[in-house]
Chains A and B, each alone.
Chain A
Amino acid sequence: MIKKEDHHPMESLLRMDRIPHIWCPGCGIGTTVTAFIVALEKLKLDFNKVCVVSGIGCTGRVAGYINLDSFHTTHGRAIPFATGIKLGNPELKVVVFSGDGDLISIGGNHFIHAARRNIDLTVICVNNFIYAMTGGQVAPTTPLTAYTTTSPYGNFELPSNVPQLAESAGAVYVARWTALHIRRLTNSIIEALQKPGFSVVEVISPCAMYYSRINRLGDGIDMMKFYHENSVIKHNEPTENLDIDYQKEIIVGKFINRERPTFTDSYNDWLVTEKKAQSKSMI
């Protein structure tokens, strides 16, 4: 017999006054949020010092449902907004929760430069291969030949490889899971949150309403299973091999885990050195 609980088990970290959420049945954002909340709980962080910043889009709505200091900003600008927060108060754990269109397309430049600077942010990128909030347009992550409302003859643009982009730009932690790898995804989010520097966790998520429907791939749950069953765990796989082909094998795992001084560390070092130099020259 199913035990009926009178409380949502995650209600302390959800804005219950905003539930039900806007996400479609079979969407992978929900499981990603679950993994994130479990990660926060497992880490026993001071929730007052954790802050979530989102951009625009389906995943952009995450900030509005998580009961932390949270910002729903402009399209693609979650990373620079979060950068400002981190610089303003380096004590905070700042998480950017957004979609592939937001982070890789309109926010691509910010993604590259935040990784290059190694700003201490955790970026959770929910990749559903499509612009879902606006009705199913082609995205920079749409696999070749996949249909969208704006690629009615199949997509012919080479999609972005998010882990490769993150690695080459300088991210210190890069992992990819599907929305059904909940335990592994949770562990990766935990690692990413603990990692000083720019960490990226990509989550391959079904879009039941648009991507699956337009390509006739079944319901969200079918897609979720398909992605899970067709994924191969290959830790430390070179990121150049991580392109995603249409309805083919998806390589998941933890690909990058390296050390590099963060922007805040380098900046503080510079401040201290310069201050000493300036006070010496004054003498």
Chain B
Amino acid sequence: MNPGTYNLTGNQACAEGALSSGCRLLGYYPIVPSIEVIERFSKRCPEVGATLIQMEDEISALAAVLGASWTGKKSMTVTSGPGLSLMMEHVGLGVMLETPCVIVDIQRSGPSEGIPNSPGQGDMMQARWGSHGDYEIIALSPNSPQEMFDLTIKAFNLSERYRTPVLIMSDECVGHMTEKVIIPEASKIEIEPRKYYGGPKNKYLPFEWSQDFVPPIVDIGKGYKFHVTGLTHDDKGYPIMNEVCQELNVHRLINKIRLNAPQIIEIEEDKIEDAEVVVVSYGITSRVALNAIQEARKNGIKVGSLRLITVWPFPEKIITKLAKKIKAFVVPEINYGQIVFEVERCSHGNTNTVFVSHKATQVYDSDNILYAIEQGVKEKEIKEKIIEYNK
């Protein structure tokens, strides 16, 4: 797309972001409310020579994306909650085969079919834990069409950098809202190149240990004759079923993300230096929370904002540090409590955590967040008084 400023929906911006980052294959199964990503991509296919395939279900959609990625083509899939549930099988395979790819989840209300056309944030824990076994994953949460563009590029970059599937956990509201999106010149867009192996062909190890735990990759058809398996494997990619190999294999997969977390995590802080209450939010709720934060400040409450752009890996250390000096965290989410438990866990009991269950239908209403901020300050004061009295 020519550089410039456009009015795009979040979903359209996501498709443009993917194309700008060099994505040339989209495998999908149609699901509301993610359709516009596919529609945009399909219209642009002839122009850029990209491949689009509607698979028979979400299971095969992600399988095809993983296969295509091994040919060197940047690939992605787009879905919503029910589809993400089906994809979990191949999130696991993607992690195990260390295959770069991007999964866009335009979240809707759940469980099961839920309300297809209403926003939700109920897949946040599924994104982290949905596939069986132990693994770490990267998930980003955009809160505007501009970020749908930017973070899709970032997601591709992270997936190439760390050889892992990366999830974009957006929601119906961000996906369907129309806003100005600035598309920069292609030369100004930072693209992470795939970390290719350059050594002799017969020495290639698909899962070699390296300094940053990310092994170099090769494409199919280049004569490396490599083997990879979803079974526990050694550095050659051969299945070895014993505890030592399991430990070496899984430990590296986990450490690849955990030890690189400081480089992966991106957050947006606002006025948290002197804050008594910090609102931890992500996605569309972060924009609703902004209103409440401004109201609270007018009322004289020292409130800061911490927006999670990277949700997984979770910014544990930042939360732990903050918890020691504030009175409360307020966590609004369009679910019945998911990320709030992470915030609570990372606070180690040093502060209160007030959860605001933000109903999908009240997505524009910030009153309950404001109320929670006010309660957050009070509750700590009450507790302090009790402690003083007990002394």
Binding site for B on A (CB under 8 A): 15, 17-18, 47-49, 51, 53, 63-64, 67-74, 77, 79-89, 91-92, 109-110, 112-113, 267, 270-272, 274-275, 278
Contacts and interface: CB of A to CB of B under 8 A. Distances in A.
Contacts of B70: 71, 84-85, 88
Interface of B: 25, 27, 45-47, 49, 51, 53, 55-57, 59-61, 63-73, 75, 89-90, 92-93, 97, 219-231, 238-239
B55 A113 contact: yes
Given A49-B221, A278-B47, A72 B60 contact: no
A80 B60 contact: yes
A196 B55 CA distance: 20
B63 A92 contact: no
A69 B60 contact: no
Given A92-B71, A275-B46, A84 B66 contact: yes
A156 B385 CA distance: 74
A72 B230 contact: yes
A271 B227 contact: no
A109 B63 CA distance: 13
B239 A64 contact: yes
A267 B53 CA distance: 10
Contact of A74 (B46, B64, B71, B90): B90
A84 B75 contact: yes
Nearest to A48: B223
A77 B89 contact: yes
Contacts of B61: 80
Given A88-B67, A88-B73, A89-B72, A80 B59 contact: yes
B67 A69 contact: no
Contacts of B73: 88-89
A85 B68 contact: yes
B217 to A, nearest CB: 12
A136 B254 CA distance: 35
B47 A63 contact: no
Contact of A63 (B46, B51, B57, B227): B227
A190 to B, nearest CB: 21
A219 B112 CA distance: 49
Contacts of A113: 55-56, 60
B93 A74 contact: yes
Given A84-B27, A109-B57, A69 B221 contact: yes
B28 to A, nearest CB: 12
A53 B222 contact: no
B25 A88 contact: yes
A92 B72 CA distance: 13
Nearest to A93: B221
13 contacts: A48-B225, A49-B221, A64-B227, A64-B238, A64-B239, A72-B230, A74-B63, A77-B93, A84-B66, A84-B67, A88-B67, A88-B71, A110-B56
B168 to A, nearest CB: 20
Contacts of B227: 15, 63-64, 69-72
B225 A69 contact: yes
Contact of B220 (A89, A112, A278): A89
A67 B25 contact: no
B68 A87 contact: yes
Contact of B93 (A17, A51, A73, A271): A73
A84 B228 contact: no
Given A84-B27, A84-B75, A88-B73, A267 B51 contact: yes
Contacts of B93: 73-74, 77
B63 A80 contact: yes
B52 to A, nearest CB: 8
A90 to B, nearest CB: 9
Kindly name the residue among B89, B221, B226 whose own CB sees the greatest number of chain A CB atoms within 10 A. Answer: B221
A145 B53 CA distance: 41
